[in-house]
Amino acid sequence: MSNDFTVVWNNCLQYLRSQLTEQDFKTWFDPIRAVKLDANVLTLNVPNKFFCEWLEDNFVKVLRTAITKELGEHARLEYQYKIENHFEVKKNNFPKPDKHAIPGGFAADTIKNPFVIPGIKRVKIDPQLKNTYNFDSFIEGDCNRLARSAGIAIANNPGNTGFNPFVVFGDVGLGKTHLAQAIGNEVIQKFPSKSVLYVSSEKFTNQIIEAIKNNAVNDFVNFYQLVDVLIVDDIQFLANRTKTQEIFFHIFNQLHQDGKQIILTSDCAPKDLNGMEERLISRFKWGLSADIQAPDLETRIAIAESKMDTKGIDIPNNVIEFICYNIKHNIRELEGVMISLIAHSSLNQQDIDISLAREVIQSFISNINKEITIEYIMKLVADYYDIPVDMLEKQSRKRQFVIARQLSMYLAKKLTNETLKTIGDKFGGRDHSTVLYSCTQVQNMMDTDDFFKDSVVELEKRLEMSMSA
């Protein structure tokens, strides 16, 4: 065992490189420098607190293996990062897992009897929850208000509300897992004696396969019936798995009969689950099904700001708005952009600005370089006023349509290089004098109506953000 911290860390890096993708290694380990070795404690200098937390959340197992190979089983890491004019140090003692805990339903020290320890009525269960998934970090908006409110009610009285089972459904990356685990974490805080277990449908299926191989299906069912709050993620992946559905049906029935809480997530509503037994679908409808939809721009901004505040990272407001304007449908993708942005900034010693954000986003989406066209302006204005876009071309004299049409012409003249004739043609064949009149009217309204002026500024901002991409 070497006493030279550079040798120790270089050896660790060789192992890490062999275990990770080149992108992960370059992004997360190239910027790290070893600075001290004191007995079995290796101190690493990392760019910031976020970097440190990301390492611990995502690479702790491979780091533990690497450092143990070099310094023995009592090895420890310390992370050092600079805050203002002084260094903060965070310790990582690599705590060993409790051998008596049962992560995800498996006992750690036996395969033959993996679910129940003989002679013990209640088994200590590892809930398999992420502590960062809580209600405080789950930003509420119109897109998820019902689901979040129901989740809080369940956490305050698990198994005793009308929301049992509770089915949360929606597209990928919108926060279904976050909400489901937030309920579990809140139950543990409020009711320490209750056992909570989160399991993905994939792990659940693999456990059943192992139980069948080891002739331990009864033990499997008995174990799951010990749980007070069962959370099964991505229930749609049980489709067409007849034996798995049969076993889950019996577990579901017993838990529900005993007043235990069942929480399920899915990519679609129960009625739309294909390949699922009708008796299961019927039971999924017993409680509450709540959908989570894609968040609007304001909610996306609030989510992004919350995540960065939690990590102690300061990103300029215009950069956050730019990212949220372009990443519209997937919170997981939004978080991925933010993380990549921070990593690029740390790795390249580059300020976080619109230019860097544009570079990062281009690796996530392909249509960011959007040309501002008259058609695009018309669609944006029509969406803003919640009217059909074809009404901007018609002769209607309703005030709502007239204002939207005039504002569209004003923005088209200001933000495109099209001629007045071309702009008029796009709006139902109007002549150039109509376009000029519309622009004058918009300017007059901006001078006398602050609310209208704010609307114009907001629309211009959205369009300019598109152009800067």
Residue 92, pLDDT score: 59
Question: What is the full DSSP assignment across 99-127?
Answer: TT-EETT--SS-SSS-S--TT-SS--EE-
- Residue 90 host element (H or E): strand 86-92
Tell me: the pLDDT tens digits for 329-344? 777 778 778 778 777 7
Same domain (yes/no): 72, 116: no
Same domain (yes/no): 120, 73: no
Residue 172 per-residue DSSP state: T
| Total domains, the chain | 4
- β 41-45/33-38 pair status: antiparallel
Residue ending a domain, among 72, 92, 112, is 92
CA distance 239 to 204: 13
CATH number reported for the structural domain that contains residue 449 in this entry: 1.10.1750.10
Residue ending a domain, among 74, 92, 110, is 92
Range of the domain at 54: 5-92
Amino acid in the structure at residue 261: Q
Question: What is the full DSSP assignment across 121-147?
Answer: SS--EE----TT-SSTTS---TTTHHH
Inside any domain, residue 368: no
Residue reference for tokens 């993620």: 233
Same domain (yes/no): 193, 271: yes
Lowest mean pLDDT among 67-76, 225-234, 456-465: 456-465
Same domain (yes/no): 264, 312: no
Residue ending a domain, among 291, 307, 334, is 291
Nearest to 104 by CA among 119, 96, 120, 115: 115
Amino acid in the structure at residue 10: N
Inside any domain, residue 317: yes
How many H-runs (helices) and E-runs (strands) does the chain carry? 19, 11
Residue reference for tokens 């989510």: 303
Burial 140-165 (b: 16+ CB within 10 A, else e): ebebbeebbebbebbbeebbebebbb
Q: Stretch 73-84: mean pLDDT, rounded?
A: 78
User: Do residues 8 and 2 lie in contact, with contact meaning Cβ atoms separated by under 8 Å?
Assistant: yes
Tell me: the pLDDT tens digits for 121-151? 445 677 888 888 889 888 888 888 899 999 9
The answer, yes or no, to whether residue 100 has pLDDT greater than 50, is no
Assign 103 a pLDDT band (cuts: 50, 70, 90): very low
Residue 137, pLDDT score: 82
Residue 316, pLDDT score: 79
Inside any domain, residue 200: yes
Q: Stretch 264-292: mean pLDDT, rounded?
A: 89
User: Do residues 347 and 353 lie in contact, with contact meaning Cβ atoms separated by under 8 Å?
Assistant: no
